[in-house]
Amino acid sequence: MAHDFLPEFRPGWVWLAGAGPGDPALLTLGVHDALRQADVVVHDALVGGDILRFARPGAVLEYAGKRGGRPSCRQADITTRLIDLARAGKRVLRLKGGDPFMFGRGGEEAQALAGAGIPFRVLPGVTAGIGGLAYGGVPVTHRDFNSAVTFVTGHDAGGEVPDALDWAAIARGAPVIVVYMGLGKIGVIAERLIAGGRPAGEPVAIVADASLPSQRVVETTLADAARAVAEAGIGAPALIVVGEVVRLRRELDWLGRYVVPASPEEAERRRA
């Protein structure tokens, strides 16, 4: 059913939208409506089938995923495809995991669209660094622990830990640090933060497949982070959060405590 407070998706437009961290329940109403109107959905690797099923019957679904260390679509090719589809009169939904403007290259795509004279709209999504951590039982802010949080990317265009970042300043200035796309370099990141003054025993949580049924959370410390990840065998996509707010997870792990089925033994351990 159409709602008159939602915008009309006009032919020749591109909508840059965020699908959230994975759970379809975290789709915004605007993005859900866009899926019901779009002629073509150009989606990233992190947008799952449970979300794509909301696309209208007859819509074309085009995969344009980019994953580190795997064969991926070139950004230039993706942008060109968006422009070509819009010029062909299609209603084009560019759907990304999380939020398109949070380490999602949405800003670059919007610039290219603007330069090509293609009208576009941005539909923000729930970014994994907030919503995904909430599913892991970790609040990114808490009055008793922090009044600031810093979001960083764990790798640069070449796949390495960004040297342009002042890791010592981040270590000193941010009570809570959230690292996107840093799992493969977690040892180097931990070393740089410790060298910048963070305690080696500071709590760290790694949340993999945030908000999905396959979600896993590893709690550790900065000094042990690389070893803990290797022993747990978790893989990307994963978020890293550093800070005292991680200690709240014992109380706030609502997903593990109340939602995910557990054996009687596990349920008792969670209540302890």
Active site residue 66: yes
Of the residues 23, 33, 39, 44, only one is catalytic, namely 44
Q: Kindly state the greatest CA–CA separation across the chain.
A: 60
Q: Partners of 17 in the beta sheet?
A: 95, 123
- Cα–Cα distance for residue pair 59/266, rounded to 1 Å: 44
CA–CA separation, 72 and 137 (whole Å): 32
Using alpha carbons, select from 92, 126, 98 the residue that is nearest to residue 110: 92
Specify which residues 156 forms β-bridges with: none
Stretch (H or E) spanning 86: helix 75-87
Q: How far is CA 163 from CA 168, 191, 213, in A?
A: 11, 13, 35
Q: What is the C-alpha separation between 91 and 209, in angstroms, rounded?
A: 30
Nearest to 106 by CA among 167, 181, 217, 17: 17
Q: Are 183 and 229 in contact (CB under 8 A)?
A: yes
Catalytic entry in 181, 185, 209, 253 = 181
What are the residue numbers of the active site?
Answer: 44, 66, 181
